[in-house]
Amino acid sequence: MNVMQKLLTALRSSARELGDAIIDANSTRIFEQEITEAEQHLQEAKVELTTLLAKQLQSEDELQKVQLDIKKHENYVKEALNNQNESLALEIAEKIAALESEHNQVKQTVVDYQSNTNQLKVLIQKTERQLRDYQRQLAMVKTTEKVQQTTSTISANFSAGNSKLITAKETLDRIAKQQEEEKYKQQAADQLANESEDKQLEKKLTEAGIIKNNRAEDILEKIKQSQQND
C-alpha cells in the first residue's frame, strides 16, 4: 500500500471510528489509536513528498540541461551549414533528434512528478485539517465521557451518603433519647438519696434530743381547741 492509499484508508477508518465513539464510549480508545496511526501515515507522506520534490527538482534540472544541449547542437548545425558541410549538419541534426526524444521523456517525467507531488500536497493538507477536526472531536468525546463518569460517581456517592446521613440521624436520635432517660434516672436517684439523708438526719436529731417528736401533743392541743370552740 503506497503512502496516499494509507492516508485515505486512515482517514476513512478515523471517520468511521469517530461515529462509533460518539455512541459507544468503549470505541474512544480505538478511535484515538486510529488517529495516532493516521498521524504516523501523515509523517510518512511528508517524507515521501520531500523525496518526490527532490526527484522533481532533479528532473527539472535534467530537462533544462537537455534543452541547453539541444540549443547548442542547433548552433552547431548552423555553423556546419555556413561552412557548406551538409553531411556534418545532418549528423548533428540526428543528434538533435535523439536529444529531443530524451527531452520529451524527461519532460514527461517532470510532469508526472509534478502531478504526484501536487496530489500528495493536497492530500496532506486535507489530512492535516481532518486530523485537527478529529482531535477536537475526540477531546470533546473524552471530556463528555469524563463528565458523565464524574456525574455518575457523584450521584452514586450522594445516594450512598444520603442513606448514611439518614442512618446517622436515627443513631443520633437514639443516643439523645438514651441520654435523656439516663438524666432522669440520675435525677430520681439524687432525689431519693436526698430524702433518705433528710430522714436519717431527723432521726439522729430526735435521738439526740435536739428536736422532739411533738406530734401527739399537737393532736391533743388541736382537740382541746375544738372543744372550747363548741
Those residues of the chain that have pLDDT short of 70 are: 1-26, 155-166, 193-199, 201-221, 229-230
Residue at 160: amino acid letter: A
- Asked if residues 102 and 66 have their Cβ atoms less than 8 Å apart, the reply is yes
Is CATH 1.10.287 what the domain over 3-163 is classified as, yes or no?
A: yes
Q: Are the C-beta atoms of residues 106 and 59 closer than 8 Å to each other?
A: yes
pTM of whole model > 0.75? no
Q: What is the rounded distance in angstroms from the CA atom of residue 48 to the CA atom of residue 40?
A: 12
**pLDDT at residue 21, rounded to an integer:** 45
Buried b (16+ CB within 10 A) or exposed e, 97-126: eebeeebeebbebbeebeebbeebeebbee
| Integer Cα distance of 76 and 100 in angstroms | 15
